[in-house]
Copies of this chain bind each other. A is one copy, B any other.
Amino acid sequence: MPHLFTAARARPDPVKRIADPTVRRLSLYLRFLEEFEGAGRTTISSGELAQSGHTTPAQVRKDLSSFGSFGKRGLGYGTHDLVAHIRQILGLDRTWRLVVVGAGRMGSAIAQFPGFRDRGFHVVGIFDLDPRRIGQTLAGVTIADVCHLEADVQRLRADIAVLALPPAAAQSIATRLAQAGVHALLDFSTAPLTVPAGVTVRRMDLAMELEVLSFALTNR
């Protein structure tokens, strides 16, 4: 499906091999920067960004310098330029087309989650296999029968799929999505998914996060 990634391919300087935690920090800096920009601040120091992100000024400078030099010593970063640059690095200078597979409680909540659209993530399709759900409307999108998933995600030009379904169903759906050209999955199913090279999976594993908290409480 070459048309899906035209925007990405047209980029002159793809940023490669940035570690996951760095990407997450950039995402966090971006929120603070947008808040600062909204409040009319034209410059911001690495110290201020560090404080917002619970990290150190050195870490902030390191994170930002991997993508080129923005700041001026003693003057800080220009808020507006930095916002634009981080948005470009993260690929947020465009919109992304999202489908949600599974329209149960969690899938419905995700499809209607506030804040996605503002950040450029548009829910364009919702799928389920339950005839009682198919045909209903969520967030302006009619729930479609998952049996036509491949054709539908291609027609919808979906970039990212959210899996909100039982673990037993997740692998087969992930495989079908990958074959249909969806290269990014956000998985709430907690199933260990095997996907072809080139497909990125992010796990949203609520039980695992609770277990991390259980560990923290146990070993305080």
**Chain B CB within 8 A of A44 CB:** no
A141 to chain B, nearest CB (A): 15
**Chain B CB within 8 A of A211 CB:** yes
State which residues 22-49 of A face B: CB under 8 Å.
23-24, 26-28, 30-32
A13 to chain B, nearest CB (A): 10
Could you tell me which A residues sit within 8 Å of B by CB distance?
5, 7-8, 11, 14-16, 18, 20, 23-24, 26-28, 30-32, 52-54, 89-92, 96, 98, 104-106, 108-110, 112-116, 119-121, 159-160, 166, 183-186, 190, 192, 198, 200, 202, 204-220
Chain B contacts for A5, CB-based, 8 A = 217, 220
Given contacts A206-B110, A210-B160, A214-B92, contact A8 B121 (CB under 8 A): no
Asked if B213 and A200 make an inter-chain contact with CB atoms under 8 angstroms apart, the answer reads yes
Asked if A215 and B109 make an inter-chain contact with CB atoms under 8 angstroms apart, the answer reads no
Asked if A119 and B183 make an inter-chain contact with CB atoms under 8 angstroms apart, the answer reads no
Given contacts A115-B207, A119-B210, A210-B160, contact A8 B217 (CB under 8 A): yes
Asked if A18 and B184 make an inter-chain contact with CB atoms under 8 angstroms apart, the answer reads no
Chain B contacts for A119, CB-based, 8 A = 207, 210-211
Asked if A212 and B24 make an inter-chain contact with CB atoms under 8 angstroms apart, the answer reads yes
In whole angstroms, what is the CA distance A27 to B190 when docked? 11
Asked if B91 and A214 make an inter-chain contact with CB atoms under 8 angstroms apart, the answer reads yes
Chain B residue nearest to A13 (CB atoms) is B219
Asked if B54 and A192 make an inter-chain contact with CB atoms under 8 angstroms apart, the answer reads yes
A2 to chain B, nearest CB (A): 12
Asked if A183 and B214 make an inter-chain contact with CB atoms under 8 angstroms apart, the answer reads no
Chain B contacts for A105, CB-based, 8 A = 105, 108-109, 112-113
- The 23 listed contacts between A and B (C-beta, < 8 Å) are A5-B220, A8-B219, A11-B218, A11-B219, A14-B220, A16-B219, A18-B219, A23-B211, A27-B208, A90-B218, A92-B214, A96-B210, A106-B110, A106-B113, A109-B109, A110-B206, A116-B206, A120-B214, A160-B217, A186-B210, A198-B220, A200-B216, A204-B209
Asked if B8 and A218 make an inter-chain contact with CB atoms under 8 angstroms apart, the answer reads yes
A34 to chain B, nearest CB (A): 12
